Structure formats: structure tokens, C-alpha cells
Amino acid sequence: MTVYDVTMRTVIDVPDEVIEALDRLSSSKQRSRASFIREALARYVEQSALPNAQAAFGIWSKTNKDGVDYQTDIRREWGS
């Protein structure tokens, strides 16, 4: 089942600054606010359903620090 097989209308309170940001984004990308909200919710649900190990896979790929260096630094903080 995909996100679009069953639809539901709902009312949510969204801060004005978020609506303004969505308006700018939807204007620049020529998409509706609703499509961005649907996509964000679908991604959130997808990410929340991942097992912790899978969600953490590749987390170190965005850092320049070696894992052993990180471990050494943390141990220094602990006083060991």
C-alpha cells in the first residue's frame, strides 16, 4: 500500500513561520504545500519504522574524525 492508496483529510496547527517557509519552497519548486507535507510525513514514518541499526548505518560518513580518535577524546572527557 502506498501513501496515496487511502487518503485522509486532517486539520493541524502550523506556526506562521513554517507556513511562510513552505510557501517560499512551494513557489520555488512549483509544488503545493500539501505535497511537501505529505512527503515529509511519509519520510518520517519510513525513518521511524527502520530498526535502530539500519537507521544509524553510515552515520560516521559525514564526519572527518576517525572512530578511534573519537573514542580517545571521549575517554579523556571521562578522565580515564
Q: What is the pLDDT of residue 78?
A: 87
pLDDT tens digits along 48-70: 877 777 777 787 777 888 888 88
Q: Return d(Cα 33, Cα 24) in angstroms, integer.
A: 10
Q: What is the pLDDT of residue 70?
A: 86
38: in domain:
yes
3: in domain:
no
Number of domains in the chain: 1
pLDDT tens digits along 5-14: 677 888 999 9
Per the structure, the complete domain to which residue 31 belongs is given by 16-78
Q: Looking at the whole model, is its pTM more than 0.75? A: no
Which tops the pLDDT comparison, 41 or 47? 41
7: in domain:
no
Handedness of CA 56, 57, 62, 67 (dihedral sign): positive
5: in domain:
no
11: in domain:
no
Give me the helices (H) in 6-32, please.
16-29
Measured in whole angstroms, the distance separating CA 37 from the mean position of its chain's CA atoms is 12
2: in domain:
no
